[in-house]
Structure 1
Amino acid sequence: MKYLFSPSLMCMNLIKLNEQISVLNSKADFLHVDIMDGHFVKNITLSPFFIEQIKSYVNIPIDAHLMVENPGDYIEICEKSGASFITIHAETINREAFRIIDRIKSHGLMVGIALNPATPISEIKHYINKIDKITIMTVDPGFAGQPFIPEVLEKIRDLKRLKDDNNYNYLIEADGSCNKNTFQVLKDAGCKVFVLGSSGLFNLSDDLGKAWEIMIGNFNG
């Protein structure tokens, strides 16, 4: 299996923005941009404007992860800014899930659905066939550096079984505390995409190219 890596840009060193974006553009599979509104999670990080600023410097897909209470307000602006994926939380859309998913697809974008650690797969069962990527939050969302929640591994295994049994096409992604201590259990459970944050990538070395090589060594064991 080919595994995919999606560095979380909220964890990068913004003083070295040009240098780090250049490194990631040559090595990563996606770029993960967390957009928070201070309500759904008690933090505010990046924005669609940030996507617009980096888009012309990269040629890999950008995933806009909407940790916001009203994701419908962000769809068109994220599309115009240059996002390829829009990942929205099931906890925020289930009153109008089909409408929002269809809006995202109407712009030619890929649809991701994120599930918080305590949110069951049953919340998305009626539209799981329409999803391109399912992001399992392996920490409670909002802040970098939180401890891994091992109870989510059962949910990842269940998603893998559902995918295999029904020939679904969604990618299974883990977001939160993906690092040398958790890579193997996440792989064994069925993850294909790994969101890399502070512990998994950015804090491994001041030289991001070197940090990437350390991460790959950790990933491969």
Structure 2
Amino acid sequence: MIQISPSILSADFSRLGDEVKEICELGADYIHVDVMDGHFVPNISFGAGVMESLNEISSVPYDVHLMIEDPDKYLDTFVTDKTEFITVHQEACVHLDRTIEHIKSLGNGVIKAGVSLNPATPVDLLSCIIDKVDLVLIMSVNPGFGGQKFIPQSIDKVRELSRIREEKNLKFLIEVDGGVNGDNAHLLKEAGADILVAGSYIFKSGDRKKAIESIK
């Protein structure tokens, strides 16, 4: 079954703890933590302190997505007992191989390294490091804001990644973030996706349980 990682960027920040507790109880597999710096993307979200405040509330691991410039400066601050993935953007890393190694060295080597690709970034730019990553995140919207419309070409990128994974006998997971809903989730799953990120579709729904189940 596909795994789901609800993005707390779309949650009600005035009651964030309750929001996280609820989606965990409703079947979330991860908590997707979107970190934006106002430079790499045109928006500012929150930092490590907000994530850490949820440590005793979340019953599932963190899936941390750093949409920030020069992420190496901040990687250590996002390591907690709940952190499973830390994902950086290919477009933001000058020395991506070094950044991946840095992530995998954190938390006594238990943190998994992810790399994200913007909609206009081709999959083949990961060819030299694809065997080192634990996760590849395909952005199916242009990063920076929640609630955007899904870009259909993202399905082809997922399919291409899935083919590479099979041909090279690799184990990395494929995640998709942006505009995911009950209408396109099955297409992404069929293309080879393992984890789907959904924010507005879940948190703005009148029936969150039904929204999660429609994706799964």
Q: TM-score, normalised by structure 1?
A: 0.91
Q: SS state of the match for residue 128, structure 1?
A: coil
Q: Paired residues, what number?
A: 212
Aligned to 1:106: 105
Q: How does 1:174-213 map to 2 (within 5 A)?
A: 174-198=176-200, 200-205=201-206, 210-213=207-210
Q: How does 1:39-54 map to 2 (within 5 A)?
A: 39-54=39-54
Query: Structure 1 residue 219 and structure 2 residue 215: aligned?
Result: yes
Instruction: Give the direction of change, closer, same or farther, for the CA distance of 1:102–1:214 in structure 2 (3 Å limit).
Output: closer
Percent sequence identity is 36
Aligned to 2:91: 91
Q: SS state of the match for residue 141, structure 2?
A: coil
- Cα distance in structure 2, aligned partners of 1:114 and 1:159: 12
Aligned to 1:129: 131
- Cα distance in structure 1, aligned partners of 2:162 and 2:80: 33
- Cα distance in structure 1, aligned partners of 2:80 and 2:72: 14
Q: Offset of 1:78 from its aligned partner?
A: 0.8
Query: Structure 1 residue 117 and structure 2 residue 119: aligned?
Result: yes
Instruction: Give the direction of change, closer, same or farther, for the CA distance of 1:72–1:113 in structure 2 (3 Å limit).
Output: same
Larger RCO (alpha carbons 8 Å, 6+ apart): 2
RMSD of aligned alpha carbons: 1.5
Q: Offset of 1:59 from its aligned partner?
A: 3.0
Q: SS state of the match for residue 55, structure 1?
A: coil
Aligned to 1:25: 24
Q: SS state of the match for residue 63, structure 2?
A: strand
For 2:132, give the aligned amino acid: K
User: 8 Å contact 1:174–1:195 — kept in the other structure?
Assistant: yes
Q: SS state of the match for residue 131, structure 2?
A: helix
User: 8 Å contact 1:51–1:81 — kept in the other structure?
Assistant: no
User: 8 Å contact 1:52–1:81 — kept in the other structure?
Assistant: no
Instruction: Give the direction of change, closer, same or farther, for the CA distance of 1:214–1:77 in structure 2 (3 Å limit).
Output: closer
Aligned to 2:156: 154
Is there any run of 5+ residues in structure 2 with no aligned partner, and where? Answer: none
Aligned to 2:73: 73
User: 8 Å contact 1:132–1:169 — kept in the other structure?
Assistant: yes
